[in-house]
C-alpha cells in the first residue's frame, strides 16, 4: 500500500509575519517549520506501519526551495521518501491552483491513502483535502479523530467529533483522509532519527514534470484577488484591576454598564 | 451574471425536526445571517439539503429567501459532503446564481471548496464581512491568526464565499418563499464516505457556541473538570455558552467540541469572558473578533490582558462566583 502524506512548510506561528508588495505572505522573511497540524498526519502514517500495515510512506510538499525542511522533519519521524514540487510559477497560487498541482502530483506518485492534517497553520482554510477528493474522484474522509485501515477489506474508518453527534465514517480506498490534533501526540525524533531522515531520498518535480502549464497556476490564474491587507487595529488596552475582594463588583458594574447583565 | 439581480444561494444549515419530542425543524442562525449578506448582493435564495418542513420554509421566507430549493434525499445525511456538493451544483446549473454562500465551518468550507473546483470558481473562506462591490462581492477576512484584515474578490466563476458566524446581523425581510424541489442525480464519487453510525450528543440547553452572543471560556487556570462549574454558572447567569481553551480540553476537563482556537471553534460574540486562559496566539485566533473581552487570570503578565477591555488579576474560583452573586443581587 502506498500512503502519501501532504506536508506544508509554514512560517513559524510565533514569528512576526509580513506581506510582500504583491500582497502574498512574505515566506522568505520569516523562519519556517513543518506545519504543526501536519505532524499529526505524519504520526498516523508512521503508526499505521508500526502496527503492521505493509505500506510505503511518501511525503509530498509544494513550496519554495526551503520547503524541503518540512519534508526532512517528516522523514525524521519515519517513512520512506519525499517528493518536493517546486516551481517559481507556483508563487501566488490560490487554493484552486494548489489543489490542481497537488492532484497532478498525487497522480504522478500514485496513492492508496492520502493523509493530511486538519488545516495549515498559515492559510488555515481546511479545504485542500476536500478539493483533492473532488479532483481525484475519490472519497474524502475528513477531520478524523482517529484512523483505522483495513488492508484486506481495502477500507479506511474514522470517528468524527461533530457538534451534535459522533459519527463513524467508512470509505473504500483509495481515499483522501484528514486527521485532527486529537489523533495522538506526534513523536519527537531522536538525533539518530534526524540523521537517518537526512539520508532518505527526496525527489524534486517541476510543473512541467506534472504536465501543468505555468498559466494554470500563480497569481494570474487565481480565482481570488487580494485587494488589501492591513494589520488589524490594536485594541485599546482596557482597565486592569488586581482583586482585593472588590473586583467582582467592578466586573458586575462593567457588565451592567455594557448591557450584559 | 446577465440578470441585474442574480440569485445569491445560501446553503442552509438546519436542525431537523425531532419526531420523538415533536420539536419542529429550525434554521441555524449563521444561515439567517447569510441571508442578510445575500440581500446586499442580489436576490436571496436558500438551499435546504434534507427535509424542509413548513416552519423552516417560513423562517427562510421571513428573512428574505424568495426561493427555497429543497434536495430531500437520504444521501445527504448518509454520506460526508459529496451529496451536498452535487445539490449546490445542480441548483447552480439551473442558471441565474451569481454567488454561493456557505457557513465557514468545516462542512461548509469543504462543500464550498469542492463546489469551487467543480465550477472553476474562486473561493474565499472565513469571511468576517461581505459587501457588494464593483466586479462582485468584496469579502473581508481575518488572516494570520486573526491579526491582519485582508479584503478579497473572486474574479473567476461564480463566487463561493464561506461566511463566519456573526459576520452580519439577522434581519427580518419577509417575502413569500416559493419552494422548488430539486431532483439530484448523485455522482458515484460523491457517495464514497459513508456515515455508518451516528451517536447524538446530549444537549446542554445553552446557546450554540459559535452563534452565542456571550461566551464564558475556561482554561488551564480552571484546574479540573469540576472547576468548570464556576465557568458554567457565570455563563448561565449571562445567558451565554461555555467554551474552553485547548489546554482544558486536552486535559479532558471539558468537551473537545467546546474548544475555542485555531484547532477548535472560532467565536465572535458581543462578550467574551476568558477565565484562567493565558491567551496564546492559537487561542486568540479563535476569539480575536469578540467585541468586548473580560479576562480573569492570576498571572498579571498573561497576554490575554492585552486584548481585554476589563482585566482582573485574581483567582477565577474566587472572582467568578462573586460576579454571579453580584449579578443575582442586582437583579433581585
Q: Is the pLDDT of residue B157 over 80?
A: yes
Task: Report d(CA B184, CA A54) in Å as an integer.
Answer: 40
Segment A182-236, tens digit of pLDDT: 999 999 999 999 999 999 999 999 999 999 999 999 988 999 999 998 888 777 7
CA distances from B209 to B268, B270, B287 (A): 10, 12, 11
What pLDDT score does B2 carry? 44
Mutate to test the interface with B, among A252, A256, A257 (most CBs of B within 10 A): A252
Chain B positions touching A243 (Cβ under 8 A) are 312-315, 318-319
pLDDT above 90: percentage of residues in chain B: 82
Confidence of residue A246 (pLDDT cuts 50, 70, 90): very high
CB pair distance less than 8 Å for B114 and A180: no
Task: Report d(CA B105, CA A69) in Å as an integer.
Answer: 31
CB pair distance less than 8 Å for B113 and A125: yes
Give how far A22 is from chain B: nearest CA, Å.
13
CB pair distance less than 8 Å for A140 and B112: no
Given a contact cutoff of 8 angstroms between Cβ atoms, the answer to whether A186 and A74 are in contact is no
Confidence of residue B37 (pLDDT cuts 50, 70, 90): very high
Given a contact cutoff of 8 angstroms between Cβ atoms, the answer to whether B100 and B9 are in contact is yes
CA angle at residue B136 from B131 to B138, to 5 degrees? 35
Segment A111-155, tens digit of pLDDT: 999 999 998 877 778 899 999 999 999 999 999 999 999 999 999
Better-scored residue on pLDDT, B204 or B216: B216
Q: Is the pLDDT of residue B166 over 60?
A: yes
Residue of A nearest to B157 (CA): A223
- Tell me whether residue A108 is in a domain: yes
What pLDDT score does B123 carry? 96
Residue A112: which CATH number?
3.40.50.620
Q: Is the pLDDT of residue A14 over 90?
A: no
Mean pLDDT of chain A: 93
Q: Which residue has the cell 483505522?
A: A148
Strand, helix or coil at A236?
Answer: coil
Mean pLDDT of chain B: 93
Measuring CA to CA, which residue among A113, A125, A99, A98 is closest to residue A176?
A: A113
Half-sphere exposure of B48 (CA within 13 A, CB side): 31
Q: Is the pLDDT of residue B20 over 50?
A: yes
Lowest average pLDDT, out of A204-208, B1-5, B74-78, B176-180, goes to B1-5
- According to DSSP, the β-strands at A155-161 and A148-150 are antiparallel
- Tell me whether residue A228 is in a domain: no
A113 strand-pairing partners: A3, A175
What pLDDT score does B220 carry? 97
| Torsion of Cα atoms, A193 then A194 then A198 then A201, to 10° | 40
Average pLDDT on B47-51 reads: 95
Give how far B209 is from chain A: nearest CA, Å.
9
Which grid coordinates are listed for B98?
451569481
CB pair distance less than 8 Å for A37 and B125: no
What ipTM was estimated for this complex?
0.92
- Tell me whether residue A206 is in a domain: yes
Segment B257-282, tens digit of pLDDT: 999 998 899 998 999 999 999 999 88
Task: Report d(CA A58, CA A83) in Å as an integer.
Answer: 7
Segment B171-210, tens digit of pLDDT: 999 999 999 999 999 999 999 999 999 998 877 889 989 8
Better-scored residue on pLDDT, A18 or B172: B172
Average pLDDT on B305-311 reads: 94
Most confident of A156-165, B2-11, B41-50: B41-50
Task: Report d(CA A52, CA A25) in Å as an integer.
Answer: 41
Least CB–CB distance from B313: residue in A222, A237, A240 = A240
Segment A27-85, tens digit of pLDDT: 777 788 999 999 999 999 999 999 999 999 999 999 999 999 999 999 999 999 999 99
Least CB–CB distance from B311: residue in A95, A232, A240 = A240
Residues 6+ apart with CB under 8 A from A165: B198, B199, B200, B201
What pLDDT score does B3 carry? 45
Average pLDDT on A7-33 reads: 81
What pLDDT score does A164 carry? 80
Task: Report d(CA A11, CA A28) in Å as an integer.
Answer: 9
Q: Is the pLDDT of residue B147 over 80?
A: no
CB pair distance less than 8 Å for B151 and A119: no
Give how far A231 is from chain B: nearest CA, Å.
4
What pLDDT score does B21 carry? 79
Q: How many CB pairs under 8 A join A and B?
A: 259
Give how far B176 is from chain A: nearest CA, Å.
31
- Tell me whether residue A240 is in a domain: no
CB pair distance less than 8 Å for B238 and A168: no
Task: Report d(CA B327, CA A261) in Å as an integer.
Answer: 7
Domains of chain B: 7-191 (3.40.50.620), 209-331 (3.40.50.1220)
Least CB–CB distance from A170: residue in B113, B117, B196 = B196
Better-scored residue on pLDDT, A16 or B12: B12
What pLDDT score does B145 carry? 67
What pLDDT score does B330 carry? 87
CA distances from B278 to B285, B300, B308 (A): 13, 10, 12
- Tell me whether residue A236 is in a domain: no
Give me the domain span that covers residue A25.
Answer: 2-221
User: Strand (E) positions, B144-221?
Assistant: 148-154, 160-163, 178-181, 193-200, 214-218
Instruction: Tell me how many domains chain A contains.
Output: 1
Q: Where are the alpha helices (DSSP H) in chain A?
A: 36-50, 68-77, 95-109, 128-136, 191-199, 207-210, 218-221, 247-257
A164 strand-pairing partners: none
Amino acid at each position: 500500500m502506498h500512503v502519501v502524506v501532504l506536508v506544508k512548510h509554514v512560517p513559524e506561528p510565533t514569528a512576526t509575519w509580513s506581506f510582500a508588495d504583491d500582497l502574498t505572505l512574505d515566506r522568505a522573511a520569516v523562519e519556517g517549520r513543518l506545519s504543526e497540524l501536519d505532524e499529526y498526519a505524519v504520526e498516523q502514517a508512521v503508526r499505521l506501519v508500526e502496527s503492521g500495515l505493509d505500506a510505503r510512506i511518501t511525503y509530498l510538499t509544494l513550496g519554495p526551495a526551503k520547503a524541503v525542511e518540512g519534508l526532512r522533519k517528516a522523514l525524521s519521524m519515519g517513512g520512506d521518501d519525499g517528493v518536493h514540487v517546486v516551481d517559481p510559477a507556483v508563487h501566488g497560487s490560490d487554493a484552486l491552483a494548489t489543489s490542481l498541482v497537488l492532484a497532478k502530483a498525487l497522480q504522478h506518485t500514485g496513492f492508496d491513502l492520502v493523509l493530511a492534517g486538519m488545516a495549515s497553520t498559515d492559510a488555515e482554510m481546511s479545504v485542500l483535502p476536500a478539493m483533492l477528493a473532488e479532483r481525484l474522484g475519490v472519497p474524502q474522509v475528513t477531520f478524523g479523530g482517529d484512523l483505522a485501515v483495513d488492508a484486506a477489506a481495502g477500507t479506511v474508518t474514522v470517528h468524527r467529533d461533530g457538534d451534535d453527534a459522533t459519527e463513524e465514517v467508512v470509505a473504500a480506498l483509495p481515499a483522501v483522509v484528514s486527521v485532527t490534533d486529537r489523533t495522538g501526540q506526534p513523536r519527537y525524533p531522536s538525533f539518530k532519527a534526524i540523521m537517518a531522515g537526512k539520508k532518505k531520498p527526496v525527489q524534486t518535480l517541476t510543473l512541467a514534470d506534472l504536465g501543468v502549464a505555468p498559466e494554470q497556476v500563480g497569481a494570474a490564474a487565481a480565482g481570488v484577488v487580494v485587494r488589501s491587507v492591513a494589520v488589524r487595529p490594536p485594541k485599546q488596552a482596557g482597565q486592569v484591576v488586581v482583586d482585593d475582594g472588590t473586583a467582582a463588583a467592578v466586573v458586575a458594574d462593567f457588565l451592567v454598564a455594557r448591557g450584559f447583565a | 451574471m446577465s440578470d441585474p439581480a442574480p440569485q445569491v444561494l445560501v446553503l442552509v444549515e438546519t436542525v431537523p425536526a425531532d419526531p420523538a419530542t415533536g420539536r419542529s425543524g429550525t434554521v441555524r442562525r449563521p444561515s439567517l445571517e447569510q441571508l442578510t449578506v445575500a440581500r446586499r448582493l442580489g436576490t436571496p435564495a436558500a438551499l435546504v439539503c434534507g427535509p424542509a418542513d413548513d416552519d423552516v420554509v417560513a423562517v427562510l421566507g421571513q428573512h428574505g429567501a424568495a426561493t427555497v430549493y429543497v434536495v430531500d434525499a437520504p444521501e445527504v445525511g448518509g454520506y460526508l459532503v459529496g451529496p451536498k456538493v452535487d445539490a449546490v451544483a445542480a441548483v447552480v446549473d439551473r442558471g441565474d446564481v451569481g454567488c454561493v454562500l456557505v457557513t465557514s465551518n468545516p462542512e461548509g468550507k469543504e462543500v464550498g471548496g469542492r463546489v469551487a473546483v467543480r465550477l472553476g470558481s474562486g473561493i474565499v473562506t472565513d469571511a468576517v464581512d461581505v459587501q457588494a462591490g464593483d466586479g462582485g462581492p468584496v469579502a473581508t477576512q481575518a488572516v494570520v491568526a486573526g491579526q491582519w484584515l485582508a479584503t478579497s474578490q473572486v474574479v473567476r466563476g461564480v463566487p463561493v464565499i464561506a461566511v463566519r458566524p456573526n459576520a452580519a446581523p439577522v434581519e427580518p425581510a419577509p417575502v413569500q418563499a416559493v419552494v422548488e424541489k430539486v431532483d439530484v442525480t448523485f455522482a458515484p464519487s460523491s457517495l464514497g464516505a459513508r456515515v455508518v453510525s451516528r451517536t447524538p450528543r446530549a444537549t446542554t440547553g445553552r446557546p450554540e457556541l459559535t452563534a452565542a452572543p456571550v461566551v464564558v471560556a475556561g482554561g488551564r487556570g480552571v484546574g479540573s473538570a469540576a472547576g468548570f462549574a464556576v465557568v458554567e454558572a457565570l455563563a448561565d447567569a449571562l445567558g451565554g455558552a461555555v467554551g474552553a481553551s485547548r489546554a482544558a480540553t486536552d486535559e479532558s476537563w471539558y468537551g473537545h467540541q467546546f474548544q475555542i482556537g485555531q484547532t477548535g471553534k472560532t467565536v465572535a460574540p458581543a462578550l467574551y469572558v476568558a477565565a484562567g486562559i493565558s491567551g496564546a496566539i492559537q487561542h486568540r485566533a479563535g476569539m480575536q473578533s469578540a467585541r468586548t473581552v473580560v479576562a480573569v487570570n492570576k498571572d498579571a503578565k498573561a497576554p490575554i490582558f492585552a486584548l481585554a477591555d476589563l482585566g482582573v488579576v485574581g483567582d477565577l474560583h474566587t472572582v467568578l462566583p462573586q460576579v454571579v452573586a453580584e449579578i443575582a443581587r442586582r437583579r433581585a
